[in-house]
Homo-oligomer: A and B are copies of this chain.
Amino acid sequence: MTDFAATKAMFHLPEGMIYLDGNSLGPLPKATPAAMEKVLRDEWGEMLITGWNNAGWMAQSTSVGDRVARLIGAEPGHVIMGDTLSVKVYQALASAVELNPDRRVILSDSGNFPSDLYMAEGLIQSLDKGYELRVVAPEDVAANLTDEIAVMMITEVDYRTGRLHDMKALTAKAHEHGVITVWDLAHTAGATDVQLADCKADFAVGCTYKYFNGGPGAPAFIYVNPKHANTARPAMSGWLGHDAPFAFEQSYRPHTGIERMRVGTPPVLALTALSSALDVWDMTNMADVRRKSQELTSLFITEVEARCPELTLATSRDPDARGSQVSFAFEDGYPAMQALIAHGVIGDFRAPNIMRFGFTPLYIDEADVVRAAEILEDIMTNRLWDRDEYKVKSAVT
């Protein structure tokens, strides 16, 4: 059984703050500044260009990818790091549609993160072949999996409500109809016990600045099922995905396996920060994290519902049907969240009316959950949110 007090001690958490926004940006691991100092001074500073070989920079994309693979139930050697999640969505989708060349519908749901839908729109317009992006309600995805669908592109956990799709069932039904699946793990990687291989997912992508605590703008990852690894064509066919990048050949020849999904020069500093953050995961495993996360989210629901009748639960009461977050709907959710932040409890707001709270056992415990609910009660009962200063919207909300 994981010692979560020990994992909590691995993070820097500001004095007096209860941080329930790790589903947006995880906190600073205490080990990260030293890791960054090392890559800057000992590697970049002293090795300069030779760091690509001598410090292992060129191998980082795969070595860090292998560490992520273990945490999302992927086969080793089938996850690679790089780029942003939106770029990886584009790459996965562009590859996926070509595996179903005679179909013209990309199926997604209205609970998907907008950037995924935007990237699909952009790709569809570029391809100019009559593709349709069909966006249905989350509960209607299964019923819409037909022989007409080329690709199902779904984010496993809804960023607003925390609703968790059944990856195994949806993927199985998709495959019955010859549909290729692209799973976005933005809110599940590091949060739930994702089992990509067991679910037979075709493609998966995700980010590492949320539950993996890689830092603001940390690199994304992409997974390609072994059965497609040597046939999927990376639309963004960059030199580092070439079979022999340093032969500088004039034409592209894809690398075997997941490495073909590499594009440009890897972000060494960011991958170093992420790698240091992943060390925390050596102290635990996803099954323990998931079990504890379900306890924490259940406790928060119980505490808040008992204290704040003004708030309406927007997340499933069934722990197996939600991710590692709890959302409440409240008409004045924006100022209420600002007031809560001013009182030391950090969650976030998602339009139009969602107050969102993320939980991870790595650094949140029962005492934090109860204290956060107490502070929220104070703000709601005494209408502390009803002040002009909390109603001014900032650039990033």
Q: Which residues of A contact B (CB under 8 A)?
A: 12, 14, 17, 19, 21, 24-25, 27-28, 32-33, 36-37, 40-41, 44-46, 48-53, 57-59, 82-87, 90, 94, 110, 113-115, 117-119, 121-123, 125-129, 135, 207, 209, 215-220, 233-242, 246-252, 263-271, 273, 341, 346, 348, 350-351, 394-397
Give every chain B residue within 8 A of A46 (Cβ-Cβ): 14
Indicate if the CB atoms of B28 and A118 lie closer than 8 Å: no
Given known A53-B394, A217-B267, contact A45–B21 (CB-CB < 8 A)? no
Indicate if the CB atoms of B40 and A32 lie closer than 8 Å: yes
Which of the listed residues A215, A235, A240, A269 has the most CB atoms from chain B within 10 Å of its own CB? Answer: A269
Give every chain B residue within 8 A of A28 (Cβ-Cβ): 40-41, 44-45
Indicate if the CB atoms of B49 and A21 lie closer than 8 Å: yes
Chain copies in complex: 2
Other-chain residue from B45, B216, B247 in contact with A44 (beta carbon distance below 8 A): B216
Listed by A's residue number, 8 A-B pairs whose Cβ atoms lie within 8 Å are A12-B45, A40-B215, A83-B264, A87-B236, A114-B250, A122-B236, A217-B271, A248-B351
Give every chain B residue within 8 A of A236 (Cβ-Cβ): 86-87, 90, 119, 122
Give every chain B residue within 8 A of A44 (Cβ-Cβ): 25, 27-28, 215-216
A83 to B270, CA, bound (A): 12
Give every chain B residue within 8 A of A115 (Cβ-Cβ): 238-240, 264
Indicate if the CB atoms of A396 and B53 lie closer than 8 Å: yes
Indicate if the CB atoms of B215 and A118 lie closer than 8 Å: no
Give every chain B residue within 8 A of A122 (Cβ-Cβ): 233-237, 252
Indicate if the CB atoms of B129 and A128 lie closer than 8 Å: yes
Indicate if the CB atoms of B246 and A397 lie closer than 8 Å: yes
Other-chain residue from B27, B85, B117, B341 in contact with A264 (beta carbon distance below 8 A): B85
Give every chain B residue within 8 A of A263 (Cβ-Cβ): 84, 86-87
Which of the listed residues A86, A121, A249, A270 has the most CB atoms from chain B within 10 Å of its own CB? Answer: A86
Given known A125-B233, A236-B122, A396-B53, contact A85–B265 (CB-CB < 8 A)? yes
Other-chain residue from B21, B33, B267 in contact with A270 (beta carbon distance below 8 A): B267
Give every chain B residue within 8 A of A264 (Cβ-Cβ): 83-87, 115, 220
